Structure 1
Amino acid sequence: MKVKEKIKKYSQEQLLKFEDELKKEQKEKLYNQINELDFSYLDELKNNQTIDKGKITPIKAMTINEIEKNKSKYEEIGIKALQNYEVGTLLLAGGMGTRLGSDNPKGMYNIGKTKDVFIFQRLFENLLDVVKKCGKYIPFFIMTSEKNHKVTTEFLEGKNYFGYDKNFVKFFVQEMAPCVDLKGKILLESKDRIATSPNGNGGWFNSLLNNIEAKEMLEKYNIKWLNVFSVDNVLQKIADPIFVGATINGNFEVSSKVIRKVDPFEKVGVMCNKNGKPSIVEYIDLTNEMAVETDENGERVYNFGVVLNYLFNVDTLYKIKDNKLPVHIVTKKVEYINDDGVLVKPSEPNAHKFEMLCVDMIEYCNSCLPFEVERKKEFAPVKNKTGVDSVESAQNLLEENGYKL
Structure 2
Amino acid sequence: MTSDATNAVTYDFFVANGFFGLAESQVILFEQDMLPCMSLEGNLLLSAPGELAKAPNGNGGVYVSLQRLGILERLKAQGVTSIFQFGVDNLLCHVADPLFVGFCHERDADCGVKTVGKRDPHEKVGVLALTNGNASVVEYSEISKEMAEARDSEGRIVYGASHICVNWFSMAFLERFCGTMLDHLPLHVAKKKIPTCTPEGGAYTPDAPNGVKLELFIFDSFPLADKVVALQVPREEEFAPVKNAAGAPSDSPDTARRLVSNLCRARITAAGATVLDTYASDGILEISPLVSYGGEGLERFRGRELQLPLEITPDTP
Letter of the structure 2 residue corresponding to residue 182 of structure 1: L
Deviations 1:172-225 (A, max 9, x none): 10011011233333233234532211111112121122225x345313223221
How far, CA to CA, are the matches of 2:193 and 2:11 in structure 1?
Answer: 27
Residue matched to 1:373? 233
Give the alignment partner of residue 151 of structure 2, picking from 278, 292, 297.
292
1:334-358: CA deviation from partner (whole Å, max 9, x where unpaired): 2333444444333443322111111
Query: 2: CA distance between counterparts of 1:155 and 1:144?
Result: 13
Partners of 2:25 and 2:130 in 1: how far apart?
Answer: 40
Q: Higher relative contact order at CA 8 Å, sep ≥6: structure 1 or structure 2?
A: 1
Matching residue of 1:281: 138
Residue in structure 2 matched with residue 93 of structure 1 by the alignment: none
Q: Secondary structure of the equivalent of 2:28? A: strand
Query: Does 2:31 align with 1:173?
Result: yes
Q: Distance in 2 between matches of 1:190 and 1:302?
A: 43
Aligned to 1:211: 69
For residues 244 and 155 of structure 1, the distance between their equivalents in structure 2, rounded to whole angstroms, comes to 28
Q: Distance between the aligned counterparts of 2:135 and 2:115, measured in 1? A: 14
Which of 107, 110, 129 in structure 2 is aligned with 1:272? 129
**Secondary structure at 2:30's aligned position in 1?**
strand
Q: Which residue of 1 aligns with 2:9?
A: 151
* SS of alignment partner, residue 62 of structure 2: helix
1:364 counterpart = 2:224:
yes
Partner Cα separation in structure 2 for residue 394 and residue 347 of structure 1: 27
Aligned to 2:44: 186
- Partner deviation per Cα, 1:248-285 (whole Å, 9 max, x = no partner): 11111111011123455544322221110011123533
Corresponding pairs, count: 260
- CA–CA separation in structure 2 for the residues paired with 1:285 and 1:195: 30
Q: Secondary structure at the match of 2:189?
A: strand
Change (3 A) 1:205 1:281: same
Aligned to 1:309, the other structure's residue is in SS state: strand
3-state DSSP of counterpart to 1:315: helix
User: Gaps (5+ residues) in structure 1?
Assistant: 1-142
> Which position in structure 2 is the counterpart of 1:397?
259
The 5 Å alignment of 1:94-133 reads none
Counterpart of 2:184 (choices 324, 327, 331) is 324
CA deviation vs aligned residue, 1:123-166 (integer Å, no higher than 9, x gap): xxxxxxxxxxxxxxxxxxxx000111111111221122333443
CA RMSD of aligned residues (A): 2.6
Change (3 A) 1:260 1:193: same
CA distance in 2, matches of 1:394, 1:350: 30
Preserved contact between residue 294 and residue 300 of structure 1 (Cα < 8 Å): no
Output the CA distance in 1 between the equivalents of 2:46 and 2:103: 49
For the residues of structure 1 that align with 2:139 and 2:252, how far apart are their CA atoms?
Answer: 21
Equivalent in the alignment of 2:210: 350
CA distance in 2, matches of 1:274, 1:286: 17
Return closer, same or farther for 1:319/1:153 CA change in 2, 3 Å cut-off: same
Is the Cα–Cα contact under 8 Å of residues 127 and 138 in structure 2 kept in the other structure? Answer: yes
The structure where helix makes up a greater share of residues is 1
Identity percentage of aligned residues: 33
TM-score (norm 1): 0.58
Counterpart of 2:109 in structure 1 is: 252
